[in-house]
Structure 1
Amino acid sequence: MWIYLGLLAALFIGLHNLCKKHAVQGNEVFPVLLGTVSSGFIFIAGFYIMSKFYPNYAAANGYQFQSISWQTHGFIFIKSAIMASSWILAYQALKHLPITIVTPIRSAGPFFTFIGAILIYNENPNALQWIGFFLIIFSMLLYSRVGKKEGIHFKRNKYIFAIIAATFLGASSGLYDKFLIQSLELNPQTLQFWFCFYTILILLVILGFTWFPYKHKRKAFKMKWSIPMVGILLQAADYFYFKALQDPEALIMLLSAIKRSQIIIAVVIGGLVFKEKNKRQKLVPLTGVLIGVFLILMSSD
């Protein structure tokens, strides 16, 4: 069951990435990020308020919110700090790079998660998992060759380094999620609510120095329909991902890889919507990524 929940998360992440690309085009990155997180928070806050007024109904429908200690709040704040850093780097990269370059690099995230799962959680890989993960990494190298045709030199482009750092931080957050969900026994909606709350506080501090004081930056910001959609779609993806992670048998290394099947939406549909170049050449390494993900899925049988 957790595998299917992971695939649902991948679907919403793919749609989320398309909306995110639209939201940052010609726009100020930090306020877009604040708008997306705030939209997601408002969405889940509706369920939070309903659970307070109608607790029995909330419990019957599976969205009751837990009371947590200050120590647990601290653990959630750490996750917010990690993901705020990851998103800031990723949004900057997404604004300046094609989505068909950014998304495949992000797909290397499972490799970092894979290593962490072995070292931290002692998850045991088999031969197919090793082959699948290294196939994904090799496919990323092929993407770098395609990127050079679009004037993107991977060794000299700062946004490439930004998206790599964002990917590493995102993978670290994924490993941390297993601790929050399984060790601290947080349910998805409680984690989502407080995670969004603390992330908004962090972003408000950053924007207080980088955006709010500058009138020309405030004027440059454009409110788009895709901004709230990014937040809502991300909350949907996170909910299914956290639900999958609640299963004691769920392996974080496999869930991380399954989520990357959203690359189909980003590369195929995104390439058509945003009319990016070299779509056919990108299908070759895309196939490698998909085969790698397929091998990982096969290894779970």
Structure 2
Amino acid sequence: MWMYLGLLAALFLGLHNLCKKHAVKNNEVYPVLLGTLISGLLILLPFYIGTHFFPEATLKAGFLIQDIPLEKHGYIFIKSMIMCSSWILAYQALKHLPLTIVAPIRSGGPFFTFLGAIFLYQERPNLYQWIGFFLIIFSVYLYSQVGKKEGIIFKNNKWIYAIIGATFLGASSGLYDKFLIQKIHLNPQTLQFWFCFYCILILLIILSIIWFPKIEKRKAFKWRWSIPAVGVLLQTADYFYFKALQDPEALIMLLSAIKRSQLIIAVVLGGILFKEKNKRKKLLPLAGIMIGVALILYSN
């Protein structure tokens, strides 16, 4: 069951990536990110209100937000710091790079998760899983060669380093998620609500220093329908992902890989909608990534 929940998360993440590309194109990155988080928090707010005023009905519906001690708030705040850093790097890279380059580099995240799952959680891969992960990494390298034809030289482009950093931090957050869900026993909606709340606080501090005081930057910001759509789709994807992690049999390294199937939407539809170049040449590395995911998914 947890694998199917992972596929649902991948579906909504793929749609989320398309909306995110639309939201940040020729736009100010930080207010876009803040807008998506506020939209996500508004989606979760009824659960928080229901928990306090209609606890029995909210519990019966399966959306009760837990009353947690200060220590657990600290754990969630750490996740918020990690993911805020990852998002800032990823949004800046997405603003300056084609989606068909960004999405495949992000697909290398499962490799970092894979290593962490082995050393931190003693998850043991079989031969097909090894082959699958290395196939994903090799396919990402092939994407870098296609990227050069679009004028994107990987070793000289700071946005490439930004997306690599974002990928590493995102993978670290994925490993931390398993700890929060299975060891700290947070339910999905509790983790989502407080994580979103702390991310907004962090971004408001950052924006008060680097964005709000600058009139030209405020004027450059454009509100788009895709900004709240990003927040709603991300919260939906996270809910299915965290529900999958609640299963004690769920393996974080496999879930991380299953989520990469979002590339079908990001690369194929993204290439069509945003008219990015070399779409056909990107299909071979995409096939390699999908074969790698299939090897992991069906290896058990």
1:260 and 2:260 matched? yes
Residue of structure 2 equivalent to 1:30 = 30
Deviations along 1:210-267, one digit per CA (max 9) or x if unpaired, are 1000011001100000000000000000000000000000000000000010000000
User: Which deviates more from structure 2 when the two are superposed, residues 15-24 or residues 37-46?
Assistant: 37-46
Alignment of 1:188-203 (within 5 A): 188-203=188-203
Q: How many angstroms apart in 2 are the aligned matches of 1:271 and 1:57?
A: 44
Residue of structure 1 equivalent to 2:123 = 123
CA RMSD of aligned residues (A): 0.5
CA positional deviation for 1:51:
2.6
CA positional deviation for 1:46:
1.9
Residue of structure 2 equivalent to 1:19 = 19
Q: TM-score, normalised by structure 2?
A: 0.99
Residue of structure 2 equivalent to 1:135 = 135
User: Which deviates more from structure 2 when the two are superposed, residues 40-49 or residues 9-18?
Assistant: 40-49
Aligned residue identity for 1:188:
P
CA positional deviation for 1:56:
1.3
1:155 counterpart SS class: helix
Alignment of 1:75-114 (within 5 A): 75-114=75-114
Unaligned runs of 5+ in 2: none
Alignment of 1:1-301 (within 5 A): 1-300=1-300
Deviations along 1:90-118, one digit per CA (max 9) or x if unpaired, are 00000000000000000000000000000
2:259 counterpart SS class: helix
CA positional deviation for 1:75:
0.4
Q: May I ask how many residue pairs the two structures share in their alignment?
A: 300
CA positional deviation for 1:275:
0.5
Unaligned runs of 5+ in 1: none
Q: How many angstroms apart in 2 are the aligned matches of 1:152 and 1:46?
A: 44
CA positional deviation for 1:54:
1.5
Q: TM-score, normalised by structure 1?
A: 0.99
Aligned residue identity for 1:51:
T
Q: How many angstroms apart in 1 are the aligned matches of 2:46 and 2:64?
A: 12
Q: How many angstroms apart in 2 are the aligned matches of 1:54 and 1:70?
A: 24
Poorly superposed stretches of 4+, deviation over 3 Å: none
